[in-house]
Amino acid sequence: MAAGTYDQATQAGILLEGFLLLGMPEGFRAELIEGKIVVRPLPDGDHEDCINVVLKQVLRKSRTDMDFSGNKGLELPTSEGRPSNHAVPDGTFAPLELRLFRGAESWMAPEGVALVVEVTSTKPQADREAKRRCYARGGIPLYLLIDRDDSSVTLFSDPENDDYRQLLTIPYGKPLPLPEPFAFDLETGDFG
């Protein structure tokens, strides 16, 4: 190998190592999504209110008792199958009986996660596309996207390879049916 050239695996390893060593200033968080380090400010109050609306309904209405984390780092595979995407969903739900978050490292595998939730903010295209692909590759069964720019809610389901095979988009104000293990209609009128 010529001096100064690296193969793709070496470059990905250097990027991952640098990402994991990042020290973030207070008020920011970082993710590594599809080979790019994404730094975002912490969410605003309206963003957090959307998460709170979902959380309250899941805890009250879900057929299965759920654990929740608002800051759980997920280590997700790339399109080549290597685990080098590192996403922090706005909300992560897993069946309570799994105790998935107890004892977990900062970055954990997605096995057992039932649903991830994202609310669009400073980089909405990442939530709509790149993170959707990452969650599908990780085999996360359900991805709920609350799109504040479009005043819509989309449920992605049935992950296969790099995407979800099914999606249902509704405007704010309409109920969104969540399948098992949740089995209830999510009321979306409070997102607007």
In the Cβ-directed half-sphere of 8, how many Cα atoms lie within 13 Å?
5
d(C-alpha 192, C-alpha 159), whole Å: 28
pTM of the model: 0.87
Domain residue limits at 113: 44-191
- List the pLDDT tens digit at each of the 192 positions of the chain: 444 556 767 777 777 777 777 777 787 888 888 888 888 888 899 999 999 999 999 999 999 999 999 989 999 998 876 658 999 999 999 999 999 999 999 999 999 999 999 999 888 999 999 999 999 999 999 999 999 999 999 999 999 999 999 999 999 999 999 999 999 999 999 997
Nearest to 12 by CA among 61, 60, 62, 80: 80
8 Å CB contact between 58 and 182: yes
Q: How many domains does the chain have?
A: 1
Domain CATH number, residue 48: 3.90.1570.10
At 184, give phi and psi (nearest 5°).
Answer: -155, 165
